[in-house]
Chain A
Amino acid sequence: MKLKRFLFIYFLVVLAGVFCFSCIDNSYDLEKLSGKMELFGNSISVPIGTTTIYLDSVVGNLTQDSGSLTVKDGVYVFEFAGSMDMSGLTSALGDFSLAAVDPIMTTTPLYDASLVFWTPYDIPPSVYNYTDNSSMTLPDFSTDLIAVDSVDLNNCIVRIILRSEGLGGPKLKESLNVRFIPQGAVADYFYNGQKIDEWSLGMGDTIDLEVRRLRLAKGSNSLEITQDVTLNIRESGDVTALEPIQTMMYLEMSFVNPLDYEVVYGKVNYSMSGNAEPINFNALGDVLNDNVVLSFYNPQIVLTTESNLGVPILFNLDLGTSNSVTGESRKLNDANFVMTPAGSPQEMHQNRFVIDKTNGTGELFKINPDQITMAYNFATDVASAQNHFVSKNTQTTMNYSMQIPLQFGSDLNIGMGSTMELSLDSQEFLEEQEDLTVGLNLNVKNRIPLNLKLRLTALDVDSMALFSVSSGDIKAAAPIDPATGFATGFSQTSTQISLSPAHTSLLKRTNKMRVEFLITASDQNPFVSVQPSDYIELAVGLQMEGGLVVDFKSED
Chain B
Amino acid sequence: MKTTGRILFFMVLLIALTPELRAQKVNSLYFLERSPMHTRMNPAMAPKKSCLGFGLGNIALSLRSDMALSDLVIPGRNGELITFMHPDANKTKFLSGLGKISDFSGSVNVELFNLGIRLKHFYISVHSGIYADMGLGIPKDFFSLFMLGMDATQASTRFDLTALNFEALLYTKNGLGFTTGIGEIFNVGANVNHLVGIGNMKLGFDELSIRAGDQQWDVVSKGYLRYAGPQQLLFTYSEDNYLDGISTDFSSLDGPGNLFPPGGGLSIDLGLTAKPLPFLNLSASITDLGFIRWSKYHVQQAVSNETFSFEGMDLAFGEESQDEEEGNGIGDQLQELIRLSKDVSTEAFVSGLTTKLNIGGEVGILNDRISFGLLSQTAIARSRLLYQDFMLSANFKPGSMLQAALTYSLLHGKMSSFGTAVNLKLLYVNFFLAADYIPLIYTPQMIPVNNSHFNLQTGINLMF
Contacts and interface: CB of A to CB of B under 8 A. Distances in A.
Residue among B81, B150, B214 having the largest count of chain A Cβ atoms under 10 Å: B214
A43 B149 contact: yes
Contacts of B314: 49-51
Given A49-B315, A50-B312, A547-B87, A31 B444 contact: yes
A383 interface: no
A309 B402 CA distance: 132
A58 B319 CA distance: 11
B178 to A, nearest CB: 33
B149 A44 contact: yes
A129 interface: no
Contacts of B366: 3, 7
B335 interface: no
A543 B87 contact: no
Contacts of A43: 149-152
B313 interface: yes
Given A41-B91, A50-B314, A15 B420 contact: yes
A29 interface: yes
B327 interface: no
Interface stretch (B70-78, B234-242, B254-262): B70-78
Interface residues of A, number: 56
Contacts of B148: 40-42
Contacts of B85: 37-39
A441 interface: yes
Interface stretch (A16-24, A459-467, A502-510): A16-24
Contacts of B316: 51
Nearest to A550: B85
Nearest to A543: B214
B315 A50 contact: yes
B86 A25 contact: no
B381 interface: no
Contacts of B348: none
B454 interface: no
B369 A27 contact: no
B99 interface: no
B396 A33 contact: no
Nearest to A441: B214
Interface stretch (B110-118, B292-300, B349-357, B433-441): B433-441
B449 interface: yes
Interface string B52-91: 0000000000000000011001011001111101110101
A29 B422 CA distance: 31
A30 B447 contact: yes
Interface stretch (A100-108, A117-125, A143-151, A534-542): A534-542
Contacts of B396: 7-8, 11
Contacts of A164: none
Contact of B215 (A7, A22, A434, A539): A539
Contacts of A27: 75, 79, 81
A40 B85 CA distance: 10
Contacts, number: 183
A243 B302 CA distance: 140
A545 B79 contact: no
A185 interface: no
B87 A38 contact: yes
Contacts of A8: 396, 398, 402
A445 to B, nearest CB: 12
Interface in A34-60: 34, 36-53, 57-58
Contacts of A28: 69-70, 73, 75, 81, 441-444, 447, 449
B214 A25 contact: no
B45 interface: no
A358 interface: no
Contacts of B404: 11, 15
Contacts of B441: 22-25, 28
A104 B245 CA distance: 113
A41 B214 contact: no
B146 interface: yes
Nearest to B89: A38
Given A42-B148, A50-B312, A30 B443 contact: yes
Interface string B301-340: 0000000001111111110000000000000000000000
Interface in A84-125: none
A26 B215 contact: no
Contacts of B69: 28
Interface string B202-215: 00000000001111
Contact of A540 (B147, B149, B152, B312): B312
B3 interface: no
Contact of A34 (B83, B370, B438, B442): B83
Given A15-B422, A42-B152, A46-B312, A29 B444 contact: yes
A154 B89 CA distance: 110
Given A11-B404, A539-B311, A24 B86 contact: no
Contacts of A206: none
B217 A47 contact: yes
B406 interface: yes
B208 to A, nearest CB: 18
Contact of A25 (B215, B313, B438, B449): B449
Contact of B311 (A15, A32, A39, A49): A49
Contacts of A549: 87
Contacts of A29: 79, 81, 443-445
B388 interface: no
A45 B214 contact: yes
Nearest to B85: A37
Given A29-B443, A41-B91, A50 B82 contact: no
B215 A443 contact: yes
A24 B443 contact: yes
Interface string B121-148: 0000000000000000000000000111
A28 to B, nearest CB: 4
A490 B213 CA distance: 24
Contact of B312 (A36, A48, A434): A48
Contacts of B318: 53, 57-58
Nearest to B418: A18
Given A28-B449, A39-B149, A545-B152, A45 B212 contact: yes
Given A22-B438, A29-B444, A540-B315, A37 B86 contact: yes
B216 interface: yes
B82 to A, nearest CB: 5
Given A45-B214, A50-B315, A441-B215, A26 B150 contact: no
B339 to A, nearest CB: 15
Nearest to B419: A18
Contact of B369 (A7, A58, A434, A541): A7
A4 interface: yes
A7 B370 contact: yes
A37 B406 contact: no
A525 B147 CA distance: 51
Contacts of A544: 149
30 contacts: A3-B366, A7-B398, A15-B404, A15-B420, A22-B438, A22-B439, A22-B440, A24-B442, A28-B81, A30-B445, A30-B447, A31-B444, A31-B445, A36-B82, A37-B85, A38-B87, A38-B89, A39-B147, A40-B148, A41-B87, A41-B91, A41-B149, A46-B212, A46-B214, A48-B315, A443-B215, A538-B315, A539-B215, A539-B311, A541-B214
Interface of A: 3-4, 7-8, 11, 14-15, 18-19, 21-34, 36-53, 57-58, 434, 441, 443, 538-545, 547, 549
Given A44-B150, A50-B312, 14 more contacts: A24-B441, A28-B73, A28-B443, A29-B443, A34-B81, A36-B83, A42-B150, A43-B151, A45-B214, A47-B214, A48-B313, A434-B87, A540-B315, A545-B152
Q: Which 10 A-B pairs have the closest CB atoms?
A: A40-B149, A49-B312, A45-B214, A44-B149, A51-B315, A541-B214, A49-B313, A47-B312, A43-B152, A27-B75
